[in-house]
Structure 1
Amino acid sequence: MIDLRPVAYVIGRILIVLAILMVAPAILDWRAGDPNGYAIAKAALITGFVGATVAMATTNALATSLDVRQAYLLTAAIWTILPAFAGLPFMLGEPKLRFLQAFFEATSGLTTTGATVIYGLDTLPDGMNLWRGMTNWIGGLGIAFIAMIFLPLMRVGGMQFFRTEGFDTFGKALPRATDIARQLLYVYMILTVTCIAVYSAIGMPPLGAVVHGFATIATGGFSPYDSSFSGFQGAGEYFGALFMILGSLPYIRFVQLLNGSATPLWRDSQVRAYVRWLLTAVLIVAIWRVLTADVAFEPAFRESLFNLTSIMSSTGFFSGSFPGWGGLMLIVAFVVGVCGACSGSSAAGLSVFRVQVAMAVVRRQVRQISNPSAVDPVKYDGRTVEEDVIQALIMFISSYILILGVLSVAMTLLGVDLESSLFAVWTTLGNVGYGFGPLVARTGTFIDFPDGAIIIMTLAMILGRLGLLAILVLLLPAFWRR
Structure 2
Amino acid sequence: MRAQTLHKDTPWPLRLPLFVQLMAIGAAAMLAPAIHAYSLDLHRVGQPFVYGAVLFGVLSVLIGLATLHRSVRRVARSQLLTLVAAFLLLPVMLAVPLHEARPSMSFFNAYFEMVSSLTTTGASIFDTPRIIPDPLHLWRGIVAWMGGFLMILAAIAILAPMTLGGFEVMRPGGRDGAARPGSGVHLTRSEDANARIGRFALKFIPLYVGATAVLWLIQVVAGAPGFPALMVALATLSTSGILASTELGLSLPLEMVIFVFLALAVTRQTLALPFNKDYLPALGDDREMRMATVFVIVVPLFLWLRHFVGAFEVNEEENILAALRALWGSVFTVLSFLTTSGFVSADWETARAWSGLPTPGLVLAGLAIMGGGVATTAGGVKLLRFYALYKHGIREMERLVHPNSIGAGGRLGREVRREGAFIAWIFFMLFAITVAAITVLLAATGLAFEEAVIFAISALSTTGPLASVAIEGGTTYADLTSSAKAVLIAAMVLGRMETLAIIALFNPEFWRG
Normalising by structure 1, we get a TM-score of 0.86
Q: Percent identity?
A: 21
The answer to whether the 8 A contact 2:379-2:495 is kept is yes
Which region of structure 1 is more displaced relative to structure 2, 450-459 or 439-448? 439-448
Quick one: structure 1 residues 118 and 280, their matched pair in 2 at CA, closer, same or farther if it must change by over 3 Å?
same
Give the conservation status (yes or no) of the 8 Å contact 1:350–1:397: yes
In the alignment, the residues of structure 2 paired with residue 304 and residue 444 of structure 1 have an alpha-carbon distance, to the nearest angstrom, of 25
Counterpart amino acid of 2:46? G
Do 1:14 and 1:51's aligned partners in 2 also have CA atoms closer than 8 Å?
Answer: no
Choose 271-280 or 46-55, whichever is displaced more: 46-55
Q: 1:467 aligns with which of 485, 498, 505?
A: 498
CA RMSD of aligned residues (A): 3.2
- The aligned runs of 1:246-265 (5 Å cut-off) are 247-258=264-275, 261-262=278-279, 263-265=281-283
| Deviation by residue 1:404-443 (Cα, 9 ceiling, x = unmatched) | 1111122112110112111111111011122347995348
In the alignment, which of 96, 101, 106 is matched to residue 93 of structure 1? Answer: 101
Alpha-carbon distance between aligned partners in 2 of 1:95 and 1:215, rounded to the nearest angstrom: 26
**How far off is 1:372 after superposition?**
5.3
Q: In the alignment, which residue of structure 2 is the partner of 1:244?
A: 262
**Deviation of residue 445 (structure 1)?**
4.5
Name structure 2 gaps, 5 residues minimum.
7-14, 168-178, 189-195
Partner residue, 2:447: 416
1:80 partnered with 2:99: no
1:37 and 2:37 equivalent? no
Cα drift, residue 44 of structure 1: 2.3
| Cα distance in 2 between the residues matched to 1:378 and 1:102 | 51
The structure 1 residue matched to 2:430, chosen from 361, 377, 399, is: 399
Tell me the distance in 2 between the aligned counterparts of 1:102 and 1:380. Answer: 49
1:166 equivalenced with 2:165 (yes/no): yes
> CA shift at 1:3, angstroms?
8.4
TM-fit CA distance, 1:179: 4.2
Query: Residue in 1 aligned with 2:140?
Result: 132
- TM-score (norm: length of structure 2): 0.81
1-structure distance, mates of 2:237, 2:284: 20
Q: Work out which of the two has the higher radius of gyration on C-alpha atoms and give 1 or 2.
A: 2
Letter in 1 for 2:257: F
Displacement of 1:224: 0.6
Aligned-residue offset at 1:208: 0.5
Greater Cα shift, 395-404 or 158-167: 158-167
Taking structure 1 as reference, are residues 181 and 207 closer, same or farther at Cα in structure 2, changes over 3 Å only?
A: same
Aligned to 1:308, which of 312, 316, 334?
A: 334
CA deviation string 1:182-230 (max 9, x = no partner): 22222212211111112212332111111110110111110011x221x
**Using the alignment, how far apart are the partners of 1:439 and 1:272 within structure 2?**
27
Are 1:22 and 2:30 an aligned pair? yes
* Kept after mapping to 2: 8 A contact 1:111/1:462: yes
Give, in angstroms, the shift of residue 97 of structure 1. 2.5
Identify the match of residue 371 of structure 2 among 324, 340, 343. 340
Determine if contact 1:233/1:319 at 8 Å carries over to the other structure.
no
Residue 42 to residue 408, structure 1, CA distance change in 2 (3 Å)? same
In structure 2, distance between residues paired with 1:438 and 1:232: 18
Q: SS where residue 441 of structure 1 aligns? A: coil
Residue 499 of structure 2 aligns with an amino acid whose one-letter code is: L
- Asked whether the 8 Å contact 1:360–1:379 carries over to 2, the reply is no
Number of corresponding residues? 467
Does 2:109 correspond to 1:110? no
One-letter amino acid matched to 1:315? S
Distance 1:418 1:309, change over 3 A: same
Q: Distance in 2 between matches of 1:383 and 1:376?
A: 7
Q: CA deviation at 1:96?
A: 4.2
State how 1:189-268 maps to structure 2 within 5 Å: 189-225=209-245, 227-229=246-248, 231-245=249-263, 247-258=264-275, 261-262=278-279, 263-268=281-286
Corresponding letter in the other structure for 2:297: L
